[in-house]
A and B are shown apart, each in its own frame.
Chain A
Amino acid sequence: MAIINQATKELQVKIVYYGPGKGGKTTNLEQVHANVKDVQEKGKLVSLATSSDRTLFFDFLPIEAMAIKGFKTKFQLYTVPGQVIYNTTRQLVLRGVDGIVFVADSQYEKMSENVESFQNLEENLISQKLNIAHIPYVLQYNKRDLPNVAPVEYMEFLLNNREVQVPSFTSVAAKCEGVFETLNMITRLLLNKFINESARKSA
């Protein structure tokens, strides 16, 4: 859960970008880092990657933005390594997660990897006694500029076919299309969740 420090009027939230390997998670963070404006503080983008540019441990981008007046709101954006062999690492990075952006690869041949990765996310959350139904998340259908993409309706059927549907966005992360819309939506869901929980407790 988010770290709320009432003494210093500070709120820290952790958002994890999850999804199959080479789906564009790191690209999302790179675009946020390169293009974000008017934030209070933007840290360095730290990438722990292999020589072939695959994320080995995680990417990390701290940003401080004005989300709640009077509260310093610190967003910590992480990615996980997408490759199947790095599952223990994904579990470690998910520790203390507040919100998730699931970045799916829109290419037809990647659909099974998308579904596997989403199931893996659910399993890893359960291993930390968390339930996907209780964590704010959004879906991002990336690489929409490629010729062999699956229709959005089909991706919705595969990944968003639930009792309560979550917001989903099409994107071309490499061109920064859909990146900020996705980030702002997960921010909105997170803030609403905090406020609703507080309201329930004080009722």
Chain B
Amino acid sequence: MTGLPQLIQEDIQCLDDALGELLERSEATAALIIDKGGPLICQRGDLERYDTTTISALAAGSFCATQAIAERCGEINFSTIYQQGDHTSLLLRNIDENLLLIVLFRAALSVGAIKFYGDVTVDRVATQIQKAQQRAPGETVDLVSLNVVDASEVFRKGS
């Protein structure tokens, strides 16, 4: 399992553009790129309506759990979860070893169109992540000069 590579401005811009294009073409409400461990990497759309941090954590867990079920049923090419809602639906799509795409959209929209445009986004994002991996394999950001606060005081208990 290789980790997510260090993302620079160019990568984030590309991911952001890919999500913007997806929303424009598909008329979806919001789109997110998340790490399979739960953290949110990038998001676009009508974000005020959703708690995207929590959705990311739950979606990552849900995807990995459903993938584990699929594997136990002999399905090795599991890639998508579709949650059909009355008002808002959600599509979860595998991007690569580390990332997932989440698309939130009005239930009235065609899921076929969301999948179609979602696949274009997945390819674009996966290509950019590969570029990031090739740019600096195994490299992380230099935190040496960062100004860390007193760790005994990061979380304080209220009275």
Contacts and interface: CB of A to CB of B under 8 A. Distances in A.
Interface size for chain B: under 10, 10 to 19, 20 to 34, or 35 or more residues? Answer: 35 or more
A5 B62 CA distance: 24
Contacts of B11: 7
A132 interface: no
A4 B3 contact: no
A69 B149 contact: yes
Interface in A161-203: 176, 179-180, 183-185, 187-188, 191-192, 194-195, 197-199, 201-202
A46 B148 CA distance: 29
Contacts of B65: 57, 88-89, 92
B154 A66 contact: yes
Contacts of A7: 7-9, 11-13
Nearest to B54: A46
Nearest to B138: A201
Contact of B8 (A6, A65, A183, A192): A6
A134 interface: no
A46 B147 CA distance: 31
B102 to A, nearest CB: 16
Contact of A95 (B9, B37, B139, B141): B37
Interface in B57-92: 57-58, 60-61, 64-65, 68
Interface residues of A, number: 59
Contacts of A46: 54, 57-58
Nearest to A69: B147
Nearest to A37: B158
A70 B143 CA distance: 11
A67 B144 contact: no
Nearest to B40: A12
Nearest to A60: B57
B38 A96 contact: yes
Interface of A: 1, 3-8, 12, 14, 32, 35-39, 43-44, 46, 57-58, 60, 62-63, 65-71, 74, 76, 78, 88-89, 92-93, 95-97, 128-129, 176, 179-180, 183-185, 187-188, 191-192, 194-195, 197-199, 201-202
23 contacts: A1-B4, A1-B140, A6-B141, A7-B7, A14-B39, A36-B155, A43-B54, A60-B58, A62-B53, A66-B149, A70-B146, A71-B146, A74-B53, A92-B64, A95-B60, A128-B1, A129-B1, A179-B157, A180-B155, A183-B155, A187-B151, A195-B144, A198-B142
A62 B54 contact: yes
Nearest to A41: B53
Which 8 residue pairs of A and B lie closest in terms of their CB atoms, listed nearest first? A96-B37, A188-B151, A37-B158, A69-B147, A7-B12, A12-B39, A7-B9, A198-B143
